Structure 1
Amino acid sequence: MRRRRTDSADARLIRRTMLRVGLQSAAAVLVTVLLLGVAVIMVVSHSARNDQNRSLATAIAEADDVNDPPAGTWLVIRRAGRTQASPGLPPGLPDEAAMRQAEHDGAPRTAEVSIGDRRYRIRTEQRGDAVIQAVYDLRAAEREARGLGAVLLVCGAIGMLLAILTGAWVARRAVTPLIAALTLQRRFVADAGHELRTPLTLLSTRAQLLRRHLRGHPAEAEVDSLVVDAGQLADILDDLLLAADPRQEAQPRPFDLAALLRDAVSAAEPAADQRGVRLEMIAAPVQLQGFEAGLRRAVNALLDNGIRHADSLVRVVLGSDGRHVRIDVTDDGPGIDTDVLPILFTRFASTPTTANPSERRRYGLGLSLVSEIAARHGGTVSARNHDGGGATLSMTLPTGAQR
């Protein structure tokens, strides 16, 4: 029986990372080999031309007759209208034009000439009453150049293969611990979410039962808000569980961001009243493509931060330019400590906890989650102090945000 192989998302991530790093390493090696190959060929070609010119100049300087030229070289001597050539001089040579010009002006000249499928380097000089032309066959140099190119090609292919294997090996060693940490994090989130699901379900059920018993009671509105808050908390928990599940991926959906802000402000009013802080909101309907539960967590964190630091007022403003939306949460408190401001959205970047025993302990995670949720939507976060006191925390998101 044939067994079907199933791969986890983490295993697929490892393989993709290995392949990506391997290909990037291969690309780097390929570029390096190409650059080195071009440099080597240029240096070798320049050196070969210099050697050829020296050989031609030496052949001309030692040319007593045309019968014993250096290997791969032919000599042509013209004196008093009489021309002598080395045996086996290729057809189409000598270069009559170069010899006539040398007879006319006496200047030495070197050129490359192609005759048929063969190339020659020719040097023509006037020595005394004779014009001497040395012809060098470039076939041997071309064979050496082709051999060098083949060696570079083979070395490049071997280097690319080794780079792919080495890059994949290094990537696996580097990524495997990260994947293990990610798996542990997902397991923790999944376990915590599962454990919270039961008490949250009980809380929601009891809130709904309480609402039934309080029909017509003045406290009915508060119980309705409690039911809504329990439902939103369940949505947040589902979003966390979905993020921890590597088998599936949430898809962004359109929703009214202004309505989400109104619900969040309404839910935050009891906490604001307890501190004597007034909440204001300015927002027109804005449709956003994103993850509603995650953004609700981010907005709640911004409101919680503003309420804790405000003296009397927190203002929430939602603006849009068509392509981006921006949420500004402004408080009239003392502002953000200048030492904390650069790292405000990093984990555990909170200011020292208050000495008030009734004050809930802070862990410096809320605003870092805001930053991560904004990044998940392709957005950014920022913070700034105001000259007259107070601070504004902003979250900017593209209207068509993608994961």
Structure 2
Amino acid sequence: MKATAHEERAAVRRARLRISVITCAVMTLLITVVGGVAHTVMTHAQNDQVWRELRYGAARGDLSSPPVCTWLYASGAIPLANSPAGFPVRADMDQVRRTHEPVERTVRRDNTVYLVRTQVRASGDVVQAVFDMRFQLADRRYLRSALGVAGLVGLIVAAVTGAVLGRRAVAPLAEALTRQRRFVADASHELRTPITQVYTRAQVLSRQAAAEDLPARHREGLARLVGSVGRLGRVLDDLLLSASFSADPERRSERRPVELVAVARSVVAEESDRTRDGSLTIVVNGPPHPLYVEGIESALRRAVGELLGNAIGHTPVGGRIEVFLARVRGAVELTVVDTGPGFDPAEAERLFERFHRGAGGGRYGLGLALLREVVTDHGGTVAATGHPGRGARFTIRLPECASAATPVSAGRP
């Protein structure tokens, strides 16, 4: 299946975005892991060092001159003037007196953390050592802040790097898609003239065969040849139109207000040869006032013609096709409803895939895919609804625009 130009551009954008996101995620994860390891190592190192100093102070420290951030308490000793409130922990000292086993605990108080060890010294005195962790906690906060800043800077660098990598990595894909479109356009353009000549010659031969009363099998063969070459020409026209939208998606200079009601009536009139025998009934239901949309008239005519041709091709003899046009919330809607076999609602989106074959064997060719590409290029949407045995409904929705002083006519250029 070949993607439309809009889908190809969207795929390229998604690929670039995916590469950028993956690059950002990898670098962010790397910074987070490194920062987490650094914070964990620092925390364990600080805790181990503090507990070693605390145990040494509890066992041998000078009660009157303990190390910085450490306080020593013992029976009969006078606490230092700057001792934190709430210490010593009397319960731990009483427990150590009874059991002669050291007790360690962590106390959170006054917006800081204290490590407390209570033990019996060799002299038989029960001593409690208290260490204030506020400076270690401050170091950890500084580290987390630094890691946060580093993470933010890393994320910005990762985003820029991802964007550059995404553009460079996807550039070959975008170039390949551009070359593919250019090849389709060039090949279609080069084939168009000889196929037109073959089609014209086949028509002449078919008319001569009918005039000279050739055998029926020869006339039928020439008629099939004319039909096959005509279908091939229409496929080339579709490819050329699709390639033109891809090669120059803006094409703003060619866009004019197009009166869609007149276009629809004109297309229905052109299809009258296929329904002249009364096998099908086609009705156009439009408002009495004009409905204008901005766009390229030839492309919009092709889109409406594709919807109508699709309905004619899938509607049995004696069926009815209705074309509705209306203004709906600032947009113009064109709906084609038929009484054909319909389709499974689950296939609604797949109908717009190129050369999709329905569950009942019906083939939708290139036209509906091109139809969606044309409508999307004009800023509109197209949707299909249907049920088996209950017909199908296709709706084009295009932005409405104001009429120009000399709007584009509905006639074929």
Bucket of the pairwise TM-score, normalised by the shorter protein: 0.5 to 0.7
**Are 2:20 and 2:162, in contact at CA under 8 Å, matched by a contact in 1?**
no
Query: Which structure is higher in RCO with an 8 Å CA cutoff and minimum separation 6?
Result: 2
- Give the Cα separation in 2 of the matches to 1:37 and 1:324: 55
How far apart are 1:177 and its partner, in Å?
3.7
- Give the Cα separation in 2 of the matches to 1:163 and 1:390: 51
Q: After TM superposition, list the pairs within 5 Å mapping 1:2-401 onto structure 2.
A: 23-29=20-26, 31-33=28-30, 36=33, 47=44, 51=48, 54=51, 58=55, 62=59, 65-66=62-63, 74-77=70-73, 79-80=75-76, 82-83=78-79, 93-95=82-84, 97-99=85-87, 102=89, 110-111=107-108, 121-123=113-115, 132-136=128-132, 138-139=134-135, 142-143=138-139, 146=142, 168-169=164-165, 172-190=168-186, 192-193=188-189, 242-246=244-248, 249-250=251-252, 253-273=256-276, 276-284=279-287, 285-310=290-315, 311-312=317-318, 313-336=320-343, 343-350=350-357, 364-376=365-377, 377-385=379-387, 387=389, 389-399=390-400
**Are 1:264 and 1:300, in contact at CA under 8 Å, matched by a contact in 2?**
yes
Aligned residue for 2:370, secondary structure, equals helix
How far apart are 1:325 and its partner, in Å?
3.6
**Are 2:345 and 2:385, in contact at CA under 8 Å, matched by a contact in 1?**
no
State the Cα deviation string for residues 164-183 of structure 1 (Å, max 9, x = none).
65774565444414422322
Aligned residue for 2:271, secondary structure, equals helix
How far apart are 1:241 and its partner, in Å?
7.0
CA gap 1:380/1:34 in 2 versus in 1, 3 angstroms? farther
- Give the Cα separation in 1 of the matches to 2:42 and 2:32: 15
How far apart are 1:255 and its partner, in Å?
3.1
- Give the Cα separation in 2 of the matches to 1:265 and 1:379: 22
CA gap 1:151/1:338 in 2 versus in 1, 3 angstroms? closer
Aligned residue for 1:327, secondary structure, equals strand
How far apart are 1:317 and its partner, in Å?
1.2
- Give the Cα separation in 2 of the matches to 1:317 and 1:275: 21
**Are 1:302 and 1:329, in contact at CA under 8 Å, matched by a contact in 2?**
yes
CA gap 1:162/1:126 in 2 versus in 1, 3 angstroms? closer
How far apart are 1:365 and its partner, in Å?
0.5
Percent pairwise identity: 21
CA gap 1:371/1:45 in 2 versus in 1, 3 angstroms? farther
Q: What is the alpha-carbon root mean square deviation over aligned residues?
A: 5.1
CA gap 1:38/1:267 in 2 versus in 1, 3 angstroms? farther
State the Cα deviation string for residues 15-49 of structure 1 (Å, max 9, x = none).
98997566434433454356546755775677578
**Are 2:238 and 2:366, in contact at CA under 8 Å, matched by a contact in 1?**
no
State the Cα deviation string for residues 221-245 of structure 1 (Å, max 9, x = none).
xxxxxxxxxxxxxx99996675254
**Are 1:345 and 1:368, in contact at CA under 8 Å, matched by a contact in 2?**
yes
**Are 1:190 and 1:244, in contact at CA under 8 Å, matched by a contact in 2?**
no
Partner of 1:6: none
Aligned residue for 1:370, secondary structure, equals helix
CA gap 1:16/1:364 in 2 versus in 1, 3 angstroms? closer
- Give the Cα separation in 2 of the matches to 1:158 and 1:143: 22
**Are 1:325 and 1:398, in contact at CA under 8 Å, matched by a contact in 2?**
yes
- Give the Cα separation in 2 of the matches to 1:140 and 1:18: 46
Partner of 1:225: none
- Give the Cα separation in 1 of the matches to 2:30 and 2:153: 9
- Give the Cα separation in 2 of the matches to 1:145 and 1:340: 58
State the Cα deviation string for residues 343-378 of structure 1 (Å, max 9, x = none).
221111146999xxxxxxx77101111222233324
- Give the Cα separation in 2 of the matches to 1:338 and 1:14: 26
**Are 1:328 and 1:394, in contact at CA under 8 Å, matched by a contact in 2?**
yes
How far apart are 1:305 and its partner, in Å?
0.9
- Give the Cα separation in 1 of the matches to 2:345 and 2:326: 27
AA in 2 matched with 1:286: L
How far apart are 1:304 and its partner, in Å?
0.5
Partner of 2:408: none
**Are 1:379 and 1:396, in contact at CA under 8 Å, matched by a contact in 2?**
yes
- Give the Cα separation in 2 of the matches to 1:371 and 1:15: 19
Matched residues, number: 333
